[in-house]
Structure 1
Amino acid sequence: MCADPAAERPAVKLVLCWHMHQPEYRDSRTGNYALPWTYLHAIKDYVDMAAHMEAEPRARAVVNFAPILLEQIEDYAGQLKAFLQEGTRPRDPLLDLLAAEHPPRDPDQRLELAQACVRANRRRFIEPHAPYRVLAEMVTWLREHPEYVDYQGDNFFFDLVTWYHLVWLGETVRRGDPRIRSLLEQGRDFTPAQRRLLLEVIQGLLEGLLGRYRRLAEAGRVELAFSPYAHPILPLLLDMNSAREAMPEAALPEAGDYPGGEARARWHLQRGMEVFERIFGQRPRGCWPSEGAVSDAALHLLAKEGLRWAASGEGVLTHSLQRQGEEDLSGSRRWLYQPYRFDDSDLTLFFRDDGLSDAIGFRYADWHGDDAVANFIHHLEEIGRAWEQDHAGEDRSAVVSVILDGENAWEQYPANGYHFLSALYRRLAEHPEIQLTTFSGCLAGPPRQSLPHVVAGSWVYGNLETWVGDADKNRGWDLLIRAKQRVDEVRRSGRLSREEEAAVLRQLAVCEGSDWCWWFGDYNPGGTVGLFDRLYRLHLARLYHLLGEHPPRELSQAISRGGGDPATGGVMRPGHKSGD
């Protein structure tokens, strides 16, 4: 007797897509890093995420990398290897302090380093460790009494920087590496040999990291995907007016459209795929466009580059369906739980379930891990039951896309999300009605409904307001557009050599990244806004230097000052606005 296919078909195919990205933190002239987030997230979040996948052979997921992040991970691994083998000083201030014989003597530099060493989630990183908590309280006092920073001995700075790196290690490392457990137990008075040992651990994690993901992909347990090279917002590069599709009254930059945007978008895609293929030994089949930002023009470009799938936010889909006359988008939400064929292309589109994705990003951090997983699975079961009622007898499952930041969420969780993620993969892998899969794993099957037009937007609110429309964001664009106009003029003059032009185009790409305008605006915290504001202007100034010109005077003036206090410090946002 033949088995009933419906009985074997899972009610829900679940795609967990973790996106990893950081902007370029290096000064291209010196190679020095302005901020440490690339290597810190690598040794904490990227390491842990790989370890969780390795620990559960039945698990499947999509992991998406921004190529400019991949290059920085390689650079950090090389830096630390050069230090350990040849004594070459690391080009990151915190790694350099960890490796140093003595802290710097300049009082301002000492205070700046001390403050950098407590830039962490106080509740999850600092409070659980009494020795580190005491050091952090001393830094708070020094911030209020900077004239006493010279009274702090070398051990204060070395213990502080050692603890900072210990708490930024992945939970799987702290549990599994006896060398790290020993340092945690010791708690203070770390010797030069112990600090060197910590650097050896960090170097080993960085050097082996990308190979771990490659092996998971080659074993069919992870699908690796990419974003355009330096993480630009493709719809805005291609057509600034696309922002008005979802925000008709949006103010746009005074400088107008981005010149030569299609060529730049294609550059980011092609360069990104080259970096991806060099590191992972395969070309990506799919793309999480930077911030899930899509438009018709952007999607046609992805299709022309041979990509088979792309993903975006739930808000983009609702706006697009409403534009083509769909009014009732409630009920079983079957419109969300299926792939779509874009226009008449071979590109398949998937859309993020905002509720489930934001539950992981924001809501579950304070839950017991088992309770959070049970709640997540309950929602999936409800989706499956509603789907089966609507599609009885059909040979297809609901496809649920859970897409979110794979790095920033976990510092809000106890133990870097260790308990939640371990239980999540295990419970999902053993569930009889849920199949963990990948986007490529969902490409086969019944014909898909066509989506002939998408309303330009991103996963954030289904529009592009996070990157354009605000006065500060528009000023950031104006500075970039004027720099791009000057790049085009100098290139046309023919005075750049091939090598000089390549350096200019890469530096331009760095300036085109999404992170700068993400931070501009008064709703973000002033301290973080200031850091990214200065770095953006540094990158733009470097672009002019590569053209052989002096940067315009306006690059010496701050673009944005911030002053808000958003959830998670502004590094993440929910897919829907509060109250939507």
Structure 2
Amino acid sequence: MPSDAAAPAPMRVMLCWHMHQPEYRNLRSGKIHLPWTYLHSIKDYVDMAAHIEAVPGARAVVNFAPILLEQIQFYVDQLHQFFDDGGSLGDPLLAALAEPVLPSDRAAQLELVKACLRANRERMIDRFAPFARLAGLAQHYIEHPEGLIYASSQFLADLLVWYHLSWMGESVRREDPRITALEDKGGNYSIHDRRELAHIVLELMESIVPRYRALAEAGKVELIMSPYAHPIVPLLLDMESAREAMPDAPLPLHTEYPGGAERADWHLEHGLKVFERFFGQRPVGLWPSEGGVSQAALAHFADAGFQWIASGEGVLNNSLSQTTDHGCKHRLYRFGDVSLHCVFRDDGLSDLIGFNYSEWHGEDAVANLVGHMEHIAELCKDHKDCLISVILDGENAWEYYPENGYHFLSHLYQKLAEHPRLQLTTMRDFLAECDPEPRPEERLTAGSWVYGSFSTWIGSAEKNRGWDLLVEAKHCYDQVMATGKLPDHDRALAEQQMAICEGSDWFWWFGDYNPSDSVSLFDQLYREQLANLYHCLHVEAPASLAEVISRGGGAHSRGGVMRHHDEQHH
């Protein structure tokens, strides 16, 4: 072989992290029902930025749902008002941390104690001996609430501080001397300690958008978005599309969502406005909510100006002709006459990170993952057109890893950045550098990244009931908005509230395979959001909103927040 023979082009690897939380705020009351937006902010959003910042060759795609960006800003604004002007905090857990007076009412104390145990026991509680001792006491009080009469305010204060310390990002724990000092103190925390911790929460949340914006401007991160409030766009366009992957699925009584095409476009257009307001740029990539796609949806995505979208491997398999040898599937596709690049997650690799590697030693896990990638690179000969796409939730996996995935993620970025035959990239750079030829296919089969279908959001009695309530509310919304009689302020509130009700998360939780406590919370939240919509419209809510939709009862893997791509319902 000649000594000057050109080395083969490296295989491109795209790591795409999806950041999303549903709307936990009650826009009428100002109360925030669940604390996951701020807890994931101080743990996962800051850690992911830190990992990319730390490795010069690191590259990633990061997806932010616009409604998450607004919630992060809401917390920042409220915390500033709290510290600067004495304002109140709408999140009960954060308020308990920051306010001097702790609850003395037994019911309120019990709720607080329960809230401070919502963390991975092995990785986040037992890791810290003082927290583990407090958690043991807390569990006793939960089982014997009459004993709360003996619980001191100091116990509650220490439990609150340790809960928030356990949710701190590992990069913060290693770099912020204030966190080290609080951990070293171990207990007997003062009001000053609690306020200082709340101030650290503010600093971290305030840093998120600027850090990711700087990473994007440096070319290390490509920022993309999902439709504004995370709706399943194909189902807004046509609920019958669910039968493309589930021919026998029962559907709601009303299979046409009124004005669905206009609503889909609103979520795309409004999402773009929100995204651009935060990041100063328009994204060219879209992770459709839950990877939910259909042939009709592709046209709407392209019309909104997106150049590429991603979905799940199950959708690709359902869409490919069974009679054609497709060779390496790790490449771009186009479907029909829509000029839009489509890429599909490698479900196997993505799920190894989401569900398996948390039990491995970090370096062993990375070696295994990279070995799989090297094998794919050998099978896919034309590296110019090929791309390994690892796409998964950027939030929920890491609490199952030691030290919030610090060792796994830092080693992963370092190993891939230095690899001679694998090259980290963003989709924007891949398209610009490689100018790949997408493989043409006739038509995309509608589905999502979960099972390649929409079964997580429609097709069961409880999920269909949720859709029927939504359709009924949308009819009312259309009728009232058409009169033109609502004041501008109320119209804007109603529009925002309608979008919240169309989010995918409510339907995710309906079903007996999810934990009953989580199902109960989201069932109530959904019905409250629908009731708020009727309130915005100045219409009496229907009696049906008083009826529970779903009770759950399962023990789904990882509390229901994560789902394996091919996991079957039981």
Q: Secondary structure at the match of 2:343?
A: strand
CA distance in 1, matches of 2:158, 2:110: 15
Task: Give 1:418-497 correspondences, 5 Å limit.
Answer: 418-444=406-432, 445-497=435-487
Q: Secondary structure at the match of 2:440?
A: strand
Stretch deviating more after TM superposition (255-264 or 427-436): 255-264
Query: Counterpart in 1 of 2:357?
Result: 364
**Which deviations, in whole Å up to 9, do the C-alpha atoms of 1:394-444 show, x marking residues without a partner?**
x72531110000000000100000000000000000000001001112224
Q: CA deviation at 1:363?
A: 0.7
CA distance in 2, matches of 1:190, 1:551: 46
2:493 corresponds to which letter in structure 1?
A
Q: CA deviation at 1:386?
A: 1.3
Query: Counterpart in 1 of 2:542?
Result: 552
Q: CA deviation at 1:83?
A: 1.2
**Which deviations, in whole Å up to 9, do the C-alpha atoms of 1:151-208 show, x marking residues without a partner?**
2111111111111110011011011111101111111110111111111111100111
CA distance in 2, matches of 1:326, 1:279: 47
Q: Secondary structure at the match of 1:131?
A: helix
Query: Counterpart in 1 of 2:130?
Result: 131
* Preserved CA contact (<8 Å) 1:526 1:563: yes
* Preserved CA contact (<8 Å) 1:344 1:450: no
Q: 1:340 aligns with which of 333, 340, 343?
A: 333
CA distance in 2, matches of 1:530, 1:311: 32
Q: Secondary structure at the match of 2:384?
A: coil
2:486 corresponds to which letter in structure 1?
L
Identity of paired residues, percent? 55
Query: Counterpart in 1 of 2:81?
Result: 82
Task: Give 1:165-564 correspondences, 5 Å limit.
Answer: 165-321=164-320, 324-326=321-323, 334=328, 336-388=329-381, 391=382, 396-444=384-432, 445-564=435-554
Query: Counterpart in 2 of 1:13?
Result: 12
* Preserved CA contact (<8 Å) 2:240 2:255: no
Stretch deviating more after TM superposition (443-452 or 557-566): 443-452
CA distance in 1, matches of 2:248, 2:475: 26
Task: Give 1:77-116 correspondences, 5 Å limit.
Answer: 77-116=76-115
The 1:446–1:65 alpha-carbon spacing in structure 2 relative to 1, beyond 3 Å, is closer
Q: CA deviation at 1:328?
A: 5.5
* Preserved CA contact (<8 Å) 2:385 2:436: no
Q: CA deviation at 1:494?
A: 2.1
Q: CA deviation at 1:88?
A: 1.4
**Which deviations, in whole Å up to 9, do the C-alpha atoms of 1:43-98 show, x marking residues without a partner?**
10000000000001211100000000000001111111111112212111011101
1:365 corresponds to which letter in structure 2?
S
Q: Secondary structure at the match of 1:443?
A: helix
CA distance in 1, matches of 2:256, 2:149: 52
1:473 corresponds to which letter in structure 2?
K
1:519 corresponds to which letter in structure 2?
W
Q: Root-mean-square deviation (CA), in Å? A: 1.5
Q: Secondary structure at the match of 2:37?
A: helix
CA distance in 2, matches of 1:102, 1:54: 39
1:427 corresponds to which letter in structure 2?
K
* Preserved CA contact (<8 Å) 2:242 2:453: yes
* Preserved CA contact (<8 Å) 1:121 1:412: yes
CA distance in 1, matches of 2:420, 2:343: 23
CA distance in 1, matches of 2:61, 2:215: 11
Q: Secondary structure at the match of 1:577?
A: coil
Stretch deviating more after TM superposition (183-192 or 496-505): 496-505
CA distance in 1, matches of 2:189, 2:356: 37
Stretch deviating more after TM superposition (402-411 or 138-147): 138-147
Q: CA deviation at 1:501?
A: 1.4
* Preserved CA contact (<8 Å) 2:12 2:422: yes
CA distance in 2, matches of 1:263, 1:423: 45
* Preserved CA contact (<8 Å) 2:226 2:289: yes
Stretch deviating more after TM superposition (43-52 or 26-35): 26-35
Stretch deviating more after TM superposition (95-104 or 280-289): 95-104
**Which deviations, in whole Å up to 9, do the C-alpha atoms of 1:493-546 show, x marking residues without a partner?**
222122221211110100100100101100000011111111111111100100
Query: Counterpart in 2 of 1:122?
Result: 121
2:266 corresponds to which letter in structure 1?
W
* Preserved CA contact (<8 Å) 2:98 2:195: yes
* Preserved CA contact (<8 Å) 1:240 1:256: yes
Q: CA deviation at 1:447?
A: 2.2
Q: Secondary structure at the match of 2:117?
A: coil
1:180 corresponds to which letter in structure 2?
I
CA distance in 2, matches of 1:565, 1:402: 27
Aligned residue pairs, count: 566
* Preserved CA contact (<8 Å) 1:348 1:443: no
Q: CA deviation at 1:467?
A: 0.2
CA distance in 2, matches of 1:185, 1:432: 43
Q: CA deviation at 1:557?
A: 1.8
1:366 corresponds to which letter in structure 2?
E
* Preserved CA contact (<8 Å) 1:13 1:397: no
* Preserved CA contact (<8 Å) 1:314 1:462: yes
Q: CA deviation at 1:135?
A: 1.6
Query: Counterpart in 1 of 2:56?
Result: 57
The 1:528–1:446 alpha-carbon spacing in structure 2 relative to 1, beyond 3 Å, is closer
Task: Give 1:150-169 correspondences, 5 Å limit.
Answer: 150-169=149-168
1:441 corresponds to which letter in structure 2?
D
CA distance in 1, matches of 2:203, 2:4: 50
CA distance in 1, matches of 2:451, 2:520: 25
Q: Secondary structure at the match of 1:301?
A: helix
Normalising by structure 1, what TM-score? 0.95
2:398 corresponds to which letter in structure 1?
W
* Preserved CA contact (<8 Å) 1:13 1:399: yes
CA distance in 2, matches of 1:401, 1:326: 25
* Preserved CA contact (<8 Å) 2:513 2:556: yes
CA distance in 1, matches of 2:446, 2:211: 36
1:448 corresponds to which letter in structure 2?
P
Q: Secondary structure at the match of 1:94?
A: helix
Q: CA deviation at 1:14?
A: 0.4
Task: Give 1:558-573 correspondences, 5 Å limit.
Answer: 558-573=548-563
Normalising by structure 2, what TM-score? 0.97
* Preserved CA contact (<8 Å) 1:255 1:482: no
Which residues of structure 1 form unaligned runs of 5+?
none
CA distance in 1, matches of 2:543, 2:153: 40
Stretch deviating more after TM superposition (497-506 or 117-126): 497-506
